[in-house]
Amino acid sequence: RYNTSGEIYNANGEIVGFYNNETDNYNQKNYQLLWEQKLGNLWKLNTTIHYTQGKGYYDNYKSNQKYSKYGLPNIIIGNTTISRADLIRQKWLDNNFYGIVSELQGKLNQWNINIGWVANQYFGKHFGEITDGTNLQPSNLPWEYYRNHALKNEISAYGKVLYSIDNWGVFADAQFRNIQYDSRVDKASAEESPEFDKKYFFFNPKIGTTYQAGFGNFYFSYANAHREPARNDLKENPNIQPEQLHDFELGYNTTLGNISIAANVYYMLYENQLVLTGAVNDVGAALHENSGKSYRRGLEIVANYKLSKQWNILANTTISQNKNQNYIVETNFGTTNFGNTNIAFSPDFIGNATINYLPTEKISLSLVQKFVGKQYINNTQTEEYKLNAYQLTDFLANYKCSWGKTDIGIFVLVNNIFNRSYTNYGVDYGSPYYYAQAKANFLLGVNLKFN
């Protein structure tokens, strides 16, 4: 209900207003060139060349800042030395991401085969500027107070095979990822000077089988996967490790008359899982940490019941356990072992139930009930950091029609129609801060498709 960003103080430390341009400005352009080449009747080659260019900045008002923090000299007026001021800063990101993805797909007897490779490069320039401030001369502005850049190269290759015979299918995947990720400081500051040089090589295999019985389909799979830390995490902790996952899944789906059901049991064992800490950096990006050994296990169920031509009911639920094992926090005051704790922002229960009514071919009406169990802002599982369970009801109406060669869709979405108060997110600033969500609110939209 309250945001401290942009607060303006007077000499007595009293809030006298808010900066009216506390904004996040970002523009992104995406380009893709797609090519499909058929190689006979059974094989084809798909290739995509992509380029994404992005540039933007945060504009922030910062009260009572030290000049030295931004590399500015103190200002002397008469016999007075001024070392602090109110400043307006912009933190910029200017980045380019480009690469190629190519995949060969084909069939050889009972074998379906996919072979592909990926080559990408990301180059991001990060810099900050002071655009205005107390006692600063316009001729010296903007003042660049930091600059660094990050370069991330990735070359990956993968293969997928599926062998089918009678009611059985056996599949296997293998992916090799080679990543080089480094950050260099061009102009250092007390606030932003990330420097790291990381090399990762991951082998990600997956195997599984499917079986089609007369009363449904079964599948089982095992996968070993890895994930590297993001730049924000490496900035905060250059020693943070990539996570490793062992994932076991067993599933079943069937259709019985007007009812279709799918169920999946999963067991995910992690080493150094990159879990959310509940903390954010100075521009609000969520941070991760390694939690040592941890796991996620649960049951997912999806069901669809067709009552009639006009009415159907959709429902899905996930019942799970998401645990850190022997979660340890180290501070300047010592080490605390919290034992087995819930992983942050991981509710044990999630459910959705939707009733759909289609009075005509052009109109559909939906009533959606959502359930989310309790969760925690950080990984200590202490009560003061708990987010309470909540449930919401939404209503959606769609109308579709055509005008010439244009398909038109008009929708009205009413969220939280019963005006419930709830929080679904929070931040750990040494004590919990909760994000109050909107009560009843609506969205109107129009979709156009030109044929």
Per-10-residue mean pLDDT, the chain, length 451? 83 89 94 96 96 96 90 86 91 97 94 96 96 87 94 98 94 97 91 90 98 94 97 91 98 94 98 95 86 96 95 97 92 85 97 96 96 96 96 97 92 97 93 92 95 86
Task: Report how far residue 451's alpha carbon sits from residue 449's, in angstroms, rounded to the nearest whole number.
Answer: 6
- The per-residue pLDDT for 148 is 95
Burial class of 309 by CB neighbour count within 10 A (0 to 12, 13 to 18, 19+): exposed
Pick the closest to residue 49 from 114, 109, 111, 98 (CA basis): 98
Task: Report how far residue 85's alpha carbon sits from residue 358's, in angstroms, rounded to the nearest whole number.
Answer: 62
CA quadruple 231, 234, 235, 236: dihedral positive or negative? Answer: positive
Q: Classify the phi-psi angles of 153: left when phi > 0, otherwise alpha if psi is within -120 to 50, otherwise beta.
A: beta
For the chain, give the number of residues: 451
DSSP letters, 237-272, are -TT---EEEEEEEEEEEEEETTEEEEEEEEEEEEES
3-state helix, strand, coil in the chain (%, to 5): 5, 70, 25
Query: Would you state the structure tokens that stand for residue 340, as one six-digit string?
Result: 């087995």
- Which residue do the tokens 């030295």 mark? 68
- The per-residue pLDDT for 5 is 84
396 close to 383: Cβ distance less than 8 angstroms: no
Amino acid occupying residue 21 = N
- The per-residue pLDDT for 1 is 65
Which pTM value belongs to this model?
Answer: 0.88
Amino acid occupying residue 135 = N
Write the CA distances from 441 to 46, 103, 347, 438, 446, integer angstroms. 44, 45, 25, 7, 17
